[in-house]
Amino acid sequence: MKLLKSSLALVGAASIFCSVYGIDEQQFYDNCRSHISAVAQTVVTKITELSELSDLDTTKVGYGQGTIKDDKNRPVGATDFNARYGMYDATAIGDENEKVIYLTFDQGYENGYTEKILDTLKEKNVKATFFVVGDYARRNEELVRRMIDEGHTVGNHSMSHYSMPDLTPQECEEEINSLHGYVLDNFDYEMTLFRPPMGEFSEQSLAVTQSCGYRTMLWSFAYCDWDVNNQPDAAQAKAKLIDNAHNGAVYLLHSVSSTNAQILGEVIDELRAKGYSFG
């Protein structure tokens, strides 16, 4: 009875609304039915997608490019990742025919070096990708705004930095979409690249990322630069970055590293001298 009374009240209100604003009442009801139908179809589609995702492999994989390389100095682990998971818009290395290097930085927390790194990138006219987590975006609005204003790519590194394969598909989606929404609302910027925390993924988590409209980007070169209490020697670190260059290289760096801030300009100059450009 309550539902009937509510329905009659809504019909009456709609009739008055149409009369006041000169709207055709039948057209109004037809539009409402069309909208409700579209919403219902979206819900059904989403439920179907989540059901299909639940059937995918949930085995956790800890990514690493490995030490085995092909005759082009490209890590086999990265090229194998592309071949196996490319169907999920996931990549660890770029085109083998392009002498391009992609600089990417994971932004877990701020350690005072990002401003210097941004200064160097601006001086050298190089664009990079910065993968931010939710806490970083909230605490360092000026740096994130500068990244965007200076033409860098801001990527999604999840809201809370959880291991994605430990989560349900719904939880994975929330980790990605909640940060997406925050950055869109606060910076008017729409992210499109995702890097799973710790490089851990499963087939299912990659598929969830794709369903959120994102491409997954891992890396084809990384070195131990994240331990702030055990920073690598500058000369040795620079040699590693230069010696491991390859076509389509995706470098994973961390802006908490004092060594990275120190050597970045020289690395860019030497890689350019070897004929590389930066994507």
Query: pLDDT value at position 55?
Result: 87
The rounded mean pLDDT for the chain is 89
Q: Is the pLDDT of residue 146 over 60?
A: yes
pLDDT confidence of 54, banded at 50, 70, 90? Answer: confident
Q: Where are the beta strands (DSSP E) in the chain?
A: 61-62, 90-91, 100-107, 129-132, 153-156, 193-194, 200-201, 215-217, 221-222, 249-254, 277-278
254 is an active site residue: yes
Query: pLDDT value at position 218?
Result: 98
243 is an active site residue: no
Secondary structure (DSSP) of 186-242: HH-----EE--GGGEE-HHHHHHHHHTT-EEE--SEE-S---TTSPPPHHHHHHHHH
pLDDT (tens digit per residue) in 162-180: 999 999 999 999 999 999 9
Mean pLDDT, to the nearest integer, of 218-236?
96
pLDDT confidence of 49, banded at 50, 70, 90? Answer: low
Query: pLDDT value at position 2?
Result: 40
Question: Distance between CA 209 and CA 187 in Å, rounded?
Answer: 22
Q: Which of 157, 161, 180, 254 is catalytic?
A: 254
Q: Which of 89, 106, 161, 225 is catalytic?
A: 106
Q: Is the pLDDT of residue 204 over 80?
A: yes
**Is the pTM above the cut of 0.85?**
no
- Give first-to-last CA distance, the chain, whole Å: 65
Mean pLDDT, to the nearest integer, of 78-104?
98
Mean pLDDT, to the nearest integer, of 10-17?
52
Q: Is the pLDDT of residue 26 over 90?
A: no
